[in-house]
Amino acid sequence: QPANDCPADVETLGRSTWTLLHSIAATYPKAPSHTQQSNLKSFMGLFSRLYPCWVCAEDFESYMEKEKIRVGSRDEFGKWLCEAHNAVNTKLGKDTFDCSKWEERWRTGWKDGRCN
Ligand code: FAD
């Protein structure tokens, strides 16, 4: 971890950004309106062009071209995002995450109570 007053490196930026994105999924409605779906699509489209790690952004944009974003419900978007994050994990040689557990990690907390 860099000291607080240093610019974020790729790792810190990545961790903070995944926290934001998965938290957006966690609070996204189960039955989003047309406007909410279209807002999320626009946000993710712009995000993939503005993310301030340019190689990351370029790869993420091509991922979004191949794997069309799913915004029809919280679960749909949560799973889509988990798969997108796993694609980055794989590219970086990290373990993949079990996407059936994304809500425990990012919304409800683990069943064993370790977030309480
Ligand atoms: P992170 O990958 O940051 O994950 C944070 C936490 O999320 C983990 O501790 C785990 O609890 C949870 N988690 C892990 N996988 C999943 C999943 N699939 N679904 C839900 N939760 C999960 N870095 C590069 O070096 N090159 C790149 O090209 C690159 N591209 C990126 C693209 C995007 C869009 C983003 C947001 C980040 C990118 N990064 C890239 C950064 C990289 O993904 C990591 O954030 C960084 O390496 C720090 O990794 P970490 O091991 O701390 O955990």
Question: For 33-104, CATH number?
Answer: 1.20.120.310
Measured on CA atoms in the order 103, 105, 111, 114, is the torsion positive or negative?
negative
Nearest protein CA to atom 35 of ligand 1, as residue: 14
- Specify the 3-state DSSP secondary structure of 79: helix
Residue spans of the domains in the chain: they are 33-104
Q: Closest Cα partner for 8 from 22, 26, 20?
A: 20
Amino acid 2: pLDDT: 54
Distance 111 CA to ligand 1 centre (A): 23
ipTM reported for the complex, 2 dp: 0.99
pLDDT at 116: 83
| pLDDT of 67 | 98
Predicted local distance difference test score (pLDDT) of residue 3: 61
Tens of pLDDT, residue by residue, the chain (116 residues): 556 789 999 999 999 999 999 999 999 999 999 999 999 999 999 999 999 999 999 999 999 999 999 999 999 999 999 999 999 999 999 999 999 999 999 999 999 999 98
Nearest to 77 by CA among 86, 68, 87: 68
Whether ligand 1 lies within 6 angstroms of the CB of 22 is answered as yes
Separation of CA 94 and ligand 1 centre (Å):
9
- Which pLDDT belongs to residue 108? 96
Two structure tokens written together for 94:
């990290």
Q: Where are the alpha helices (DSSP H) in the chain?
A: 10-27, 34-50, 54-66, 74-91, 102-103
Residue 39, ligand 1, Cβ within 6 A: no
Output the pLDDT for position 4: 72
- 103 CB less than 6 Å from ligand 1? no
The candidate with the shortest Cα–Cα distance to 70, out of 86, 57, 81, 55, is 81
Ligand 1, atom 28, residue with closest C-alpha: 56
